[in-house]
Structure 1
Amino acid sequence: MRKLTSVSVVVSAALTAGMVAAAPASAGGYRCSSSTRELDTPQYDGPWPDNWRVTTTLCAKRSKGRVYAYARVRWDGPNGALGGGFTNDAYFLVRIRAAGKVKASKRFHGIESRWDHSDSNGNYNGSYRTGTVSWKGRTAAVAAGSLNLEWADDGKGFRSTSFTSSPRV
């Protein structure tokens, strides 16, 4: 009986640890989801790696009848061999969606000034946290978002890349 109890405790601890690890990331009552996308630099077709690995965490919380949402964006871009000036403009769009409809949204252009600037080693890596969007409502809602880039020299205007929405709040 003692062996069975030990096994039960170990299995129970393992399951509990797994559940904790699978829970959404949160900070200050926010419920968050992260997702990653690979973006190609469209104006470059040479021998150097030119992809951007973009990870976005979308977060939402409900407090006193309001929903609050924001995004944290991190990217690992190409090295300095490609030069700079990748985009003409950029913004991150944060939306609060409820019942399949956009209830509030805001464009955050602050990401553009960071996107095209390399570090002292010529690497285009960076991060940006948007401001917070809010909406007064009782319906279950999520934070949704997209990175919108107007790549330089490709003539196709803004290209939008969406990321996984936050859990419902």
Structure 2
Amino acid sequence: MKLNKLRISSAAAKRALSVALVGAAVAGVSAVTTSPASALSWKCNSSTRTIDDAGYSGPWGDNWDFTVKNCVARSGGYVYAKAKVSWDAPPWYSGTDLSETFDSAYFRLYLKHADGGADTVLGKKTFSIRDNLAKMNGSGNGSWTTSTAKKYVGNKSAYADGALKLNWDEDGKGLRHYSFQGSGSR
């Protein structure tokens, strides 16, 4: 008989927990823990470059101002990297699909380790960004943030670095590499 009461109590407790979770979900509260990347302490560094549209030589202004904010975080033996790319283009680019501006446009996010000579690339991820660049406002401004990359590095220090890879339409040069300042090590 006690066993039945325990089952009933256990079933009642399960129903109460289910009702509490449903109530929390309806109230907009999440019972699931946050992802590890969102709780990290990020170290970031921003740098800006003015880049000329190499495929255009007309009378209108054609310089793009890009700002890249590279960020790194560490949790145990793992490092995390992400970047935010912002741009200020002349307003006349706004509202176009940019296929007449870029044959291709990428952002490459790197995780690197500072060595005595050339830094070692521990990992990299390339993002196609031409469609993101086209999502600028009427003033020619916009921004986009990468997903977070994660790499096990043990006790090595690492930093985030990023570069634009732009292939300007009709310039005949292919992909051009534009570097930005790294985050600093963690």
Shorter-normalised TM range: 0.7 to 0.9
1:85-111 CA-partner distances (Å, limit 9, x unpaired): 2101111100110132000110011x2
The alignment of Structure 1 onto Structure 2 pairs a total of residues equal to 140
Query: SS in structure 1 opposite 2:147?
Result: coil
* RMSD between aligned residues: 1.8
Query: SS in structure 2 opposite 1:114?
Result: helix
Matched, 1:35 2:53: no
Q: Counterpart in 2 of 1:95?
A: 110
For structure 1, the residue ranges without an aligned partner over 5 or more in a row are 1-26
- Residues 48 and 81 of structure 1 are in contact (CA less than 8 Å); yes or no, is this contact kept in structure 2? no
Query: SS in structure 2 opposite 1:113?
Result: helix
Q: Highest Rg: 1 or 2?
A: 2
Q: How does 1:6-155 map onto structure 2 within 5 Å?
A: 28-80=40-92, 84=98, 85-98=100-113, 99=115, 100-109=119-128, 111-119=129-137, 121=138, 123-137=139-153, 138-155=155-172
1:19-77 CA-partner distances (Å, limit 9, x unpaired): xxxxxxxx940100000000001121122211000001000011121000011000000
Shift in Å at residue 116 of structure 1? 3.3
Separation in structure 2 between the aligned mates of residue 56 and residue 94 of structure 1, nearest angstrom:
11
Q: Which of the pair is proportionally richer in strand?
A: 1
Percent identity of paired positions between Structure 1 and Structure 2: 38
My pick for the range that moved more, 68-77 or 131-140, is: 131-140
Separation in structure 1 between the aligned mates of residue 93 and residue 126 of structure 2, nearest angstrom:
31
Shift in Å at residue 118 of structure 1? 4.6
- Residues 86 and 116 of structure 1 are in contact (CA less than 8 Å); yes or no, is this contact kept in structure 2? no
Separation in structure 2 between the aligned mates of residue 156 and residue 38 of structure 1, nearest angstrom:
18
- Residues 110 and 160 of structure 2 are in contact (CA less than 8 Å); yes or no, is this contact kept in structure 1? yes
User: TM-score, with normalisation over the residues of structure 2?
Assistant: 0.70
